[in-house]
Structure 1
Amino acid sequence: MPELPEVETTRRRLLPLLLGRRILALDHGDPKRYRHTEKARGKRVEGLSRRGKFLLLELSEGLEAVIHLGMTGGFRLERTPHTRLVFRLDQGALFFHDPRRFGRIWVVERGDYREIPLLTRLGPEPLSEDFRFPTFWEELRRSAKPLKALLLEQRLAAGVGNIYADEALFRARLSPFLKGKEVEKEEAKRLFLALKAVLAEAVALGGSTLSDRSYQQPDGLPGGFQERHAVYGRAGLPCPACGTPIAKDVVAGRGTHFCPRCQPQRPRPRSKR
């Protein structure tokens, strides 16, 4: 699923193509996935921002198109066999490509997210000034969930998914199974900084394009951060830090990659008899 770096890269590539353009129509045949799109007809694009994994297309007359790419969604400059929706513009067109059909688009009054409750529950943007260590630390201390699960929930940091959770935990040298309340303050600081660093690097490199190539930039170019993956997708390969084979397990229902030596699990304290 496209995460913060992939969605932010998409936003940056789309902005010059959309800003100031008038939408003639959003053409599709799936009103359950693409909601209220008739409201966008004739509206001008006034901006394009991102919140977590959502794109927010600001339209004239107080409207907004909220776009979630799902697992395999993305924009292309040309029609593909998996084009599900077409942005017909006063100059040209953009094509929403989505092989697995999990992407969604809603056209709503700006800021009215009653149909998209996740948008109202997102934590701070990890590359913004709103991402502050004291709040991050307090959230960790209150939770008995594993770190990997906490990162995926979107409350600690919006936009983090499976790839960047694994990579940040590796850089912070923390086990994905370690519970939030078990983390020491210095360890939490390492994770906080690792999240910021990993995400910033991934954005600079255009995100991660995996072997299935489901994520590409709108012009068809791949991202580049996959070349820097230390653990994600590398089960059985040597850890770049110590040479130990990368392990894969399941946390919160998601495949999780880690180095058993660099990210050791802490021994459980013995119960007193």
Structure 2
Amino acid sequence: MPELPEVETVRKGLEQLVLNKKIKEVLVAWDRIIERPNIEDFTNQLIGEKIDSVSRRGKYLIFHLTHYDMISHLRMEGKFDYVQPDTSVTKHTHVRFIFTDHTELRYLDVRKFGRLTLLPKNTAMDYKGIKKLGPEPTPEEFLLESFNQQLKKHHKAIKPLLLDQTLITGLGNIYVDEALFKAKIHPEQTANTLTFDEVTRLHVAIINVLAQAVEAGGTTIRSYKNALGEAGTFQVNLMVYGKTGEPCPNCGTEITKIKVAQRGTHFCSLCQRIHL
């Protein structure tokens, strides 16, 4: 699943490829990809629109058009391909944005979980999925004191809490495992039992892990590639994710994999001990 670093890398790629492109035609092959409006309005309203910029909030991409905001959530395996004229259409292509120069931006999605939503211009921040998001994982927006206060209110395991996007946005399964490892916190540790030192370590780890992953262009697990067709390289820096049975880079203990909130979870049982 594309996480924040992968989505940010896609955004950067799209800005290199489709800025100032004017839409001539939109073809939708799988109606359920379009969340709103109806298919006819979606395709008609986009004709003549120019792509002014592409931004990101959490894991959502926002295309800023002449008169609209188009929100894209890639979900599990959604991706965009920019192709030249007369490029053959592949099996999992569900939406085609054909530009006036005959190049195309195509939305592909093997599992068809992704969604596209067209809204009036400058209203993307009011979209239901975006309104509930926590702060971006930057030192300027993700404040330690607020994070600590929020954790004290929760009596659930820290991993699923970090995954729900309300305390901090952009963390998915891979980067939660990596951040918890760096902070030496067990993924099942109850959030309100974390000490201030642990919260501080976790705060720093989240910011650093995501920043490093963005710098590396994301993590390539199976089929992920960015809008330029390039694979991310952060997987070479992974400490615990996908390392089941391998030695912990800190202490040599075998990395363990368990299920936490139905998600495969990797950690070191010695470095990340649970406490009451």
* Higher alpha-carbon deviation: 66-75 or 21-30: 21-30
For structure 1, list consecutive stretches of 5 or more residues without a partner in the other structure.
Answer: 269-273
Report if aligned partners of 2:69, 2:124 keep a CA contact under 8 Å in 1.
no
User: SS where residue 176 of structure 1 aligns?
Assistant: coil
CA drift of 1:232 comes to 0.8
CA distance in 1, matches of 2:18, 2:124: 22
Stretch of structure 1 that moved more, 138-147 or 30-39: 30-39
Q: What TM-score does the superposition give when structure 1 sets the normalisation length?
A: 0.92
Q: Which amino acid aligns with 1:56?
A: I
CA distance in 2, matches of 1:107, 1:74: 18
Matched residue count = 264
Secondary structure at the counterpart of residue 32 of structure 1? helix
Measured in 2, the distance between the counterparts of 1:163 and 1:130 equals: 22
Corresponding residue for residue 127 of structure 1:
138
Post-superposition Cα deviations, 1:127-173, rounded to whole Å, max 9, x if no partner, equal 26111111111111111111101100101111111010000000001
The partner residue of 2:64 within 55, 58, 63 is 58
Q: Which one is further off, 104-113 or 49-58?
A: 104-113
Task: Quote the offset at 1:82 in angstroms.
Answer: 1.7
Aligned to 1:44: 50
Does 1:88 pair with 2:98?
yes
Q: CA deviation at 1:90?
A: 2.1
Partner secondary structure for residue 145 of structure 2: helix
Moved over 3 A (4+): 110-116
2:15 is matched with which residue? 15
Query: The residue matched to 2:71 in structure 1 has which SS?
Result: strand
Match of 2:243 in 1: 234
Question: Cα RMSD (Å) of the superposition?
Answer: 1.7
> Gapped runs of 5+ residues in structure 2?
84-88
1:223 aligns with 2:229: no
Aligned residue type for 2:261: A
Structure 1: how far apart are the matches of 2:53 and 2:229?
Answer: 23
Where do 1:86-235 residues align within 5 Å?
86-91=96-101, 92-112=103-123, 116-127=127-138, 129-210=140-221, 212-213=222-223, 215-235=224-244
1:69 match: 74
Query: % of aligned pairs identical?
Result: 40
Tell me the residue number matched to 1:258: 267
Deviation of the 1:42 alpha carbon: 1.1
Amino acid at match of 1:250: K
Q: What is the identity, as a one-letter code, of the residue corresponding to 2:145?
A: P
Between 1:41-50 and 1:187-196, the stretch displaced more is: 41-50
Distance 1:218 1:40, change over 3 A: same
The residue number in structure 1 matching 2:25 is 25
Q: Distance in 1 between matches of 2:269 and 2:168?
A: 25
Q: CA deviation at 1:114?
A: 10
Distance, in Å, in 2 between the alignment partners of 1:176 and 1:229 is: 16
**Distance in 1 separating the partners of 2:144 and 2:135:** 11
Counterpart Cα distance in 2 of 1:251 and 1:144: 15
Secondary structure of 2:31 counterpart: coil
User: Counterparts of 1:115 and 1:188 in 2: how far apart (Å)?
Assistant: 30
